[in-house]
C-alpha cells in the first residue's frame, strides 16, 4: 500500500504545484515505478503508445473538429433563433432556449466546454438584454453545458468504452434519457428562478404565425438534422461511433461552407488548427493515463480497493453514495478525461459486485465528473462562462446551488433507477 500512497500522493502534490495534468500523471507513475517496482521503465513508452493506438479513440478529434466548425459556422445561431421563435412568450424563455440549445449542440460536439462556449457566447448577452442578471445567465450557460458529455455523442463515453471494454454504442444509447432528464430538471429550475426574478416572456411579441415558424425551421433545418444523422446512423447500425464522428465533421464543413456560407477556407483552417491543439493535449493525457492505469492493474490496486470498500459496508445504497461522493470530489480537481481513464477500471469491479452494469456505471461516472465542470476549484465550464460573460466568479456561484441540486437529483435517479439508463438500450437492442 506504500506504493499506492506514494503514487497518488505525488500525483496530487504535482497538481498542487500547478504542473500540467498530463505531466503530473506521467511523472508520478515514473518515480513510483523507480522506487517501488522492478517493472522495466520501457513499459511507460510502450503503454503510452498502445493506449492511444485505438480505432474508437479516433472519434475524439473528429467530434472536436465538428464542434469547432459548427460553433463558428452558423449552426448554433440558427438553433437558438428557432427555439427562441418557438418559446419567446414563455416565462424564462431565453433561459429555456439556452438549455435546449445546449442539449442540441451536445448531440453535435460531444464536449461540455465547446457547448458552453458556443451557446453561452451568443445567449449570455441576449439574456442580459431581456433582464436576466448577467451572472445568472453565465451560471445557467455553464451548468447547461455539462449536458454536452451526457447526451451522445460524448467524448468521455468513448474513452470509458475503450478503457473498460464496454460497447460505446450502448453507452451512447444509455446517456440519451439521463441527458434529456438533466435538461428538463434545469428548465424547471430556470422557470422558478425567472418567476422569482420577475422575468416574464415577451408579452408584446406578436402571435406566432405558422409561416414565421416554418421560415425559422427551414433556416435551422440543416442544424437540427445533424444529431438525427449522427445518432440515427449509430443506433440504426449504419456506422460506428468513430465513423459517425468523421461524417459529422464532413457534414459540418459542407453545411458551414456551402449552405449557411458563414465560413471560408481560412475559418476551416483555424477550426482544424484549434482542433489539433485540443486533441494533442487530450491524446497526451490519454497516453500517460493509460500508463497510470496499467501500473495500477499490475499492482492489483483496483482489486484491493474494491475489497477495502466492500469491507466498509455491503449495503449497496450506502456504497453507491460513497462512490458518488468520491467522484464528485475528484471532479472538483481533475479533468474528466484522465479521471475517466484512471477511475473507470478501478471502480468498475466494485459496482459490478453490486450488480450494476458497466453501461449504467459509465453514465453515472461521467455525470459525476460532468458536475465537476461547474464546481470550484477546477470548474472549467465556470471559467469558460466567466470569460464569455466578463463577470466575477463569486457572483455566478450564488445562482449555482439550485442548478446543482437539480443535477444532483438526476444523478441519484441515474444511480438507483436502472431503467433510466438501460430501458432504451434493451428496447433498441431487441
Mean pLDDT, rounded, for 415-425: 91
Q: How far apart are the first and last CA of the chain?
A: 45
Residue 294 resides in a domain: no
Residue 50 resides in a domain: no
What is the span of the domain harbouring residue 151?
56-282+300-429
Residue 19 resides in a domain: no
pTM: 0.80
Residue 229 resides in a domain: yes
d(CA 221, CA 216): 8
* pLDDT score recorded for residue 363: 95
What does the pLDDT look like over 57-68, one tens digit per residue?
777 788 778 777
* pLDDT score recorded for residue 405: 93
Give residue 107's pLDDT band: very low, low, confident or very high (50, 70, 90). Answer: confident
In terms of DSSP H, where are the helices of 255-392? Answer: 265-298, 301-312, 316-331, 336-353, 358-371, 380-389
% of the chain with per-residue pLDDT over 70? 96
Report residue 208 as a C-alpha cell: 406566432
Residue 253 resides in a domain: yes
Q: Average model confidence (pLDDT) for the chain?
A: 82
% of the chain with per-residue pLDDT over 90? 14
In terms of DSSP H, where are the helices of 17-41? Answer: 21-36
Residue 401 resides in a domain: yes
* pLDDT score recorded for residue 208: 64
CB atoms within 10 A of CB 413: 16
Number of domains in the chain: 1
Residue 323 resides in a domain: yes
In eight-state DSSP terms, residue 238 is S
Report residue 330 as a C-alpha cell: 475528484
Residue 51 resides in a domain: no
* pLDDT score recorded for residue 377: 63
Report residue 428 as a C-alpha cell: 433498441
Amino acid at each position: 500500500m506504500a506504493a499506492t500512497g506514494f503514487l497518488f500522493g505525488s500525483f496530487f502534490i504535482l497538481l498542487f504545484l500547478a504542473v500540467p495534468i498530463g505531466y503530473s500523471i506521467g511523472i508520478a507513475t515514473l518515480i513510483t515505478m523507480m522506487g517501488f517496482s522492478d517493472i522495466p521503465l520501457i513499459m511507460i513508452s510502450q503503454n503510452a503508445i498502445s493506449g492511444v493506438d485505438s480505432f474508437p479513440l479516433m472519434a475524439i478529434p473528429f467530434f472536436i473538429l465538428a464542434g469547432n466548425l459548427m460553433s463558428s459556422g452558423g449552426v448554433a445561431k440558427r438553433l437558438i433563433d428557432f427555439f427562441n421563435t418557438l418559446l419567446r412568450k414563455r416565462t424564462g424563455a431565453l433561459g429555456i432556449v439556452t438549455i435546449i440549445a445546449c442539449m442540441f449542440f451536445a448531440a453535435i460536439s460531444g464536449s461540455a466546454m465547446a457547448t458552453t462556449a458556443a451557446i453561452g457566447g451568443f445567449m449570455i448577452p441576449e439574456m442580459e438584454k431581456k433582464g436576466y442578471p448577467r451572472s445568472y445567465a453565465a451560471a445557467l450557460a455553464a451548468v447547461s453545458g455539462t449536458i454536452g458529455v451526457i447526451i451522445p455523442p460524448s467524448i468521455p463515453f468513448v474513452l470509458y468504452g475503450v478503457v473498460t471494454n464496454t460497447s460505446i454504442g450502448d453507452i451512447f444509447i444509455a446517456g440519451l434519457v439521463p441527458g434529456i432528464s438533466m435538461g428538463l430538471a434545469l428548465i424547471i429550475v430556470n422557470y422558478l428562478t425567472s418567476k422569482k426574478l420577475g422575468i416574464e416572456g415577451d408579452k408584446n411579441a406578436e402571435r406566432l404565425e405558422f409561416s414565421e415558424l416554418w421560415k425559422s425551421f427551414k433556416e435551422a433545418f440543416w442544424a437540427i438534422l445533424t444529431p438525427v444523422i449522427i445518432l440515427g446512423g449509430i443506433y440504426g447500425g449504419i456506422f460506428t461511433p468513430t465513423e459517425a464522428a468523421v461524417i459529422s465533421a464532413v457534414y459540418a464543413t459542407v453545411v458551414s461552407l456551402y449552405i449557411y456560407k458563414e465560413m471560408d477556407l481560412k475559418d476551416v483552417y483555424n477550426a482544424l488548427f484549434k482542433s489539433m491543439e485540443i486533441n494533442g493535449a487530450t491524446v497526451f493525457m490519454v497516453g500517460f493515463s493509460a500508463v497510470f492505469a496499467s501500473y495500477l492493474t499490475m499492482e492489483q490496486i483496483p482489486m484491493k480497493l474494491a475489497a477495502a470498500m466492500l469491507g466498509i459496508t455491503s449495503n449497496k445504497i450506502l456504497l453507491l453514495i460513497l462512490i458518488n461522493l468520491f467522484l464528485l470530489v475528484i471532479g472538483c480537481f481533475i479533468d474528466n478525461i484522465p479521471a475517466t481513464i484512471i477511475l473507470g477500471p478501478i471502480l468498475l469491479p466494485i459496482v459490478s459486485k453490486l450488480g450494476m452494469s458497466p453501461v449504467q456505471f459509465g453514465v453515472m461516472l461521467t455525470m459525476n465528473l460532468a458536475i465537476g465542470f461547474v464546481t470550484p476549484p477546477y470548474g472549467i465550464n465556470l471559467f469558460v462562462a466567466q470569460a464569455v460573460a466578463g463577470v466575477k466568479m463569486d457572483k455566478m456561484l450564488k445562482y449555482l446551488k439550485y442548478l446543482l441540486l437539480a443535477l444532483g437529483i438526476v444523478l441519484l435517479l441515474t444511480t438507483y433507477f436502472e431503467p433510466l439508463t438501460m430501458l432504451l438500450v434493451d428496447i433498441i437492442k431487441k
